[in-house]
Amino acid sequence: DTGVSQDPRHKITKRGQNVTFRCDPISEHNRLYWYRQTLGQGPEFLTYFQNEAQLEKSRLLSDRFSAERPKGSFSTLEIQRTEQGDSAMYLCASSQGGGSAGYEQYFGPGTRLTVT
Amino acid sequence: GNSVTQMEGPVTLSEEAFLTINCTYTATGYPSLFWYVQYPGEGLQLLLKATKADDKGSNKGFEATYRKETTSFHLEKGSVQVSDSAVYFCALSDSNSGYALNFGKGTSLLVTP
């Protein structure tokens, strides 16, 4: 068990460019969550997957944001036409599934996005 | 909707002092409550949790009790160490949005020798 990994750790891009981040969850975890954290704030939920199914996406910040988890393993988060306001830390977390709030979510180190 | 409010930081304490970080929540259902910690340069990690009213979560000398009557989950430690310096986040989850976590803004703690 190597934990949740995210790639890249840092991304600098120019406004208007598209960016894609990858998250590899803990292998036996079937739930995967994406959050965004801005400076001085707690993480903000964006979307989650149960296996390959994206079960909640209404909290994605705009239609420029999309996420996939094609084979129920790794996930990608894409931001199209980036804006300076997208600069933030993007966090991925995974957990075992099931109908309980008690399952711990394990967080990755995050991808820090800077839009210039 | 659900929300979490925690005390503003930064909190600065001397080593061996008593720590309390206040956290209150608003929720429509019966959430589970969590404290996560972020040490400098590291990712978020779970510190403790409580899944129902009157439960006490504890870990590494930290404790928090789920108080439904006051909708609170205050974090306490009897004697802090320099190594406890970190940002602490209170969070809740319930069946909405697949048990996604709803975080407070975080409280920065600095413990001085």
From first to last of its 116 residues, chain A has per-residue pLDDT tens of: 579 999 999 999 999 999 999 999 999 899 999 999 999 899 999 999 999 998 888 888 899 999 999 988 999 999 999 999 999 999 999 998 755 556 789 999 999 999 99
Amino acid at B23: C
Nearest CB neighbour to B51, from listed A33, A45, A102: A102
Secondary structure class of B36 (helix, strand, coil): strand
Q: How many whole angstroms separate alpha carbon B111 and alpha carbon A14?
A: 39
Q: Residue A84: what are its φ and ψ, rounded to 5°? A: -60, -30
* Cβ–Cβ under 8 Å, residues A25 and A94: yes
A53 reaches B (C-beta below 8 A): no
Element counts in chain B: helices (H) and strands (E): 0, 12
Choose, out of A34, A48, A107, A112, the residue to mutate when testing the contact with B (most B CBs < 10 Å). Answer: A107
Burial class, A110, CB count within 10 angstroms (exposed 0-12 / middle 13-18 / buried 19+): buried
Residue B3 to chain A, least CA–CA distance (Å): 11
**Looking at residue B54, what is its pLDDT?**
95
Q: Cα–Cα distances in Å, from B74 out to B6, B18, B113?
A: 9, 13, 24
* A40 token code pair: 């001085």
What is the structure's pLDDT at A59? 84
Q: Tell me how many residue pairs between chain A and chain B have CB atoms under 8 A apart.
A: 68
Instruction: Write out the two tokens for B10.
Output: 């930064």
pLDDT the model gives residue B29: 79
Assign residue A51 a region (left: φ > 0; alpha: ψ between -120 and 50; beta: otherwise): left
Shortest CB distance from B89 goes to which of A42, A93, A102?
Answer: A42
Q: How much is the pLDDT for B41? A: 84
pLDDT at position A101:
55
User: Within an 8 Å CB–CB cutoff, is residue B97 touching chain A?
Assistant: yes
Q: Which residues pair with B67 in a beta bridge?
A: B72
Nearest CA in chain A to B101: A45
Diameter over CA atoms, chain A: 42
- Spatial contact of B56 and B49, defined as CB atoms under 8 Å apart: no
Residues of chain B with pLDDT under 70: none
Cα separation of B108 and B80, whole Å? 14
What was the pLDDT predicted at B30? 83
Q: Note whether A101 contacts B: Cβ–Cβ < 8 A.
A: yes
What pLDDT score does B103 carry? 96
- State how far residue A111 is from chain B, nearest Cα, in angstroms: 11
Partner B contacted by A57 (CB < 8 A)? no
Considering only CA atoms, which of A42, A112, A57, A114 is closest in space to residue A85? A114
- Cα–chain center distance at A2: 18
Short-list A90, A80, A104, CA closest to A29 = A104
End-to-end CA distance of chain A: 36
Nearest to A43 among B31, B42, B103 (CB): B103
Q: Which of B42, B46, B97 sits opposite A104 (nearest CB)?
A: B46
Q: d(Cα A105, Cα B89) in Å, to the nearest integer? A: 14
Q: Chain A partners of B102 at a C-beta cutoff of 8 Å?
A: 45
Mutate to test the interface with A, among B99, B102, B107 (most CBs of A within 10 A): B99
